[in-house]
Amino acid sequence: MASGFFALLDDIGALMDDVAVLSKVTTKKTAGILGDDLAVNAEKASGFVSSREIPVLWAITKGSFLNKLIILPIAFLLSAFLPAAVTIILILGGIYLAFEGAEKIVEYVFPHEHKTETVDVTEELSEEAILELEKSKVKSAIITDFILSVEIVIIALGAVLEQTLLLQIIVVSIVAIIATVGVYGIVALIVRMDDFGLKLVAKSNGKGFMHGFGTVLVSALPYVIKSLSVIGTIALLLVSGGIFAHNLDFFHDILTSWPAMLKEFLIGLVVGILAVLVFKAVLWVIGVVKG
């Protein structure tokens, strides 16, 4: 009886060791997407009245957890009964990531005007209008989170696809929770950074270290968000290139003498540019047909 109990403890200990190792590996593989996820959500959670930023962010976070509750069971069912579908979805997700990263670079190199709606920030909005604006931005952020969550879950699942279903469920669930808590925790710090800086400036009497540090925090916010966007773009191409290099023999066998990071970035960039060209061509054909 006692030996059976200790054997059970030993099995649990071995399972936890496997979970820890695999969680570390899968977290590294999904970390690339988190820069883009962080930049997108920081942008969507900012721009509100200071008192509403955290409630809005909390609403987005709850939506993100709901997204994971929808995505995870479907992913595990596919892994159990149709594992080939996971690889297919992983590659399709890689094409999407490459497209998104390359599109940002193309837009930067060949900028074009966007039709944007201008909002008069001096206009007094009613409470109903403010709540409607919040709901709209929260809904948009949750939809974006759903797409990124699918990518995170599939990439994490692809990293442990050869493991038992139990390990897959535990590891991918841990990664999904870490991704949500980590991203939105950091976003909360970012969107409150300027408010914290203003408080430091207010308490500094216009001089000293507190005043200088507070001023830096206030002025640094837009640059932090912009830098996250750049890092996220690079990460998208690296992650997508890694997906192709590790799951498609053609990409795995080319540029073998190149550093892995440079090879994966180049693969992601080339596939992404091709995806952008195909997308633009389809839009042009649709425009011709309609015209």
pTM of the entire predicted model:
0.70
| pLDDT tier at 18, thresholds 50, 70, 90 | low
Q: Which residue shows structure tokens 């425009």?
A: 287
C-alpha 184/C-alpha 45 separation (Å) is: 10
* pLDDT 10s digits, 150-192: 878 888 887 787 778 888 888 888 888 888 888 888 877 877 7
* Residue 198 C-beta-side C-alpha neighbours within 13 Å: 7
Whether residue 170 contacts residue 12, with contact meaning beta carbons closer than 8 Å, is answered with no
| pLDDT tier at 269, thresholds 50, 70, 90 | very high
Mean pLDDT of the residues in the chain: 77
End-to-end CA distance of the chain: 80
What burial class does residue 147 get, using C-beta atoms within 10 Å of its C-beta: 0-12 exposed, 13-18 middle, 19+ buried?
middle
Domain count, the chain: 1
| pLDDT tier at 36, thresholds 50, 70, 90 | low
277, pLDDT greater than 90: yes
Domain assignment of residue 199, given as a range? 2-290
pLDDT for position 118: 42
126, pLDDT greater than 50: yes
